[in-house]
């Protein structure tokens, strides 16, 4: 039986992108190829907030006890190896059992599944077919992979998803990283990888921005995706895993999205739930 290292498994409302407002089960896998320490920082600077938390890691017995951060990656404990002991390896049966417990009717109805991370397409692609083929998962009709858009689908997983999709809906919510993330453009912008997702499902770009310079970069990045053949929608989303940062720029980002004819994605989990773990 295949196992997946699970950082979080919870039921909430999708706060971002195409499915905003839809009741959703979130399966947050462990592991990411990035750190995104530039979010919320002045250009060229990297956040050190998680260094302080990591130095006290032994105080935290559960994922939910960890402090939230206002800069860097807001799901840092889902990839930083220093927090790995808070994320158990779980077999598909155990994951499905837990999903049935947290669904309001004990089965899939109108809820959708979000497979997120970390980077959920890094390493775990081989494990998802067994999970999705479990008899209790047959009622599931919609999945979103929340990805950073750098991980190519394996031939086996692509074929599996194409079959799964025959009567159901697959979405790739691609949060490609701009330079405000602190990641290098060469690694972050993988045009062909994202175009290939469109062969398997609906893909859209969800670009996190704070300033007008970020939006300029977003615009020419979108041009590059378009030239490579990408056809999906584009959302601008304000930086901000905590309310103090989010409220500084959400309205401005909404206005810039309107100005450039792009979609705006909120982060409903921030105003609604303060972005606490499990929301």
Give contact residues for ligand SF4 (rule: CB under 6 A).
Answer: 32, 34-36, 73, 75, 79, 117-119, 148
Instruction: Quote the least distance from Cβ 212 to ligand SF4, whole Å.
Output: 22
Q: Which is nearer to ligand SF4, 32 or 114 (CB)?
A: 32
Q: Which is nearer to ligand SF4, 137 or 189 (CB)?
A: 189
Q: Which is nearer to ligand SF4, 50 or 103 (CB)?
A: 50
Instruction: Quote the least distance from Cβ 184 to ligand SF4, whole Å.
Output: 13
Half-sphere exposure (Cβ direction) of 158: Cα atoms closer than 13 Å: 13
Instruction: Quote the least distance from Cβ 33 to ligand SF4, whole Å.
Output: 7
Instruction: Quote the least distance from Cβ 258 to ligand SF4, whole Å.
Output: 25
Instruction: Quote the least distance from Cβ 108 to ligand SF4, whole Å.
Output: 26
Q: Which is nearer to ligand SF4, 100 or 242 (CB)?
A: 242
Q: Which is nearer to ligand SF4, 84 or 260 (CB)?
A: 84
């Amino acid at each position: 039986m295949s196992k997946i290292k699970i950082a979080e498994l919870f039921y909430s409302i999708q706060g971002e992108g195409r499915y905003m407002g839809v009741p959703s089960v979130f399966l947050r896998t462990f592991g990411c190829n990035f750190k995104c320490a530039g979010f919320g920082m002045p250009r060229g600077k990297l956040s050190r907030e998680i260094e302080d938390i990591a130095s006290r890691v032994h105080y935290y017995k559960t994922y939910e006890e960890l402090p939230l951060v206002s800069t860097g990656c807001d799901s840092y404990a889902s990839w930083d190896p220093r927090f790995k002991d808070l994320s158990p390896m779980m077999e598909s049966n155990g994951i499905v059992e837990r999903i049935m417990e947290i669904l309001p009717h004990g089965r899939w109805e109108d809820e959708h599944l979000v497979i997120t991370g970390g980077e959920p397409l890094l390493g775990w692609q081989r494990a998802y077919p067994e999970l999705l083929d479990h008899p209790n998962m047959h009622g599931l009709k919609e999945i979103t992979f929340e990805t950073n858009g750098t991980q190519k689908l394996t031939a086996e997983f692509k074929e599996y998803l194409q079959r799964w999709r025959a009567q159901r809906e697959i979405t790739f919510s691609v949060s490609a990283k701009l330079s405000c993330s602190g990641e290098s453009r060469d690694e972050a912008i993988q045009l062909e990888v994202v175009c290939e997702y469109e062969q398997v499902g609906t893909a859209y770009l969800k670009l996190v921005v704070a300033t007008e310079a970020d939006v300029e970069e977003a615009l020419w990045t979108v041009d590059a995706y378009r030239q490579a053949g990408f056809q999906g929608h584009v959302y601008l989303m304000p930086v901000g895993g905590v309310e103090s940062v989010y409220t500084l720029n959400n309205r401005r980002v909404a206005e810039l999205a309107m100005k450039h004819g792009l979609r705006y994605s909120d982060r409903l989990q921030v105003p609604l739930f303060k972005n606490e773990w499990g929301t």
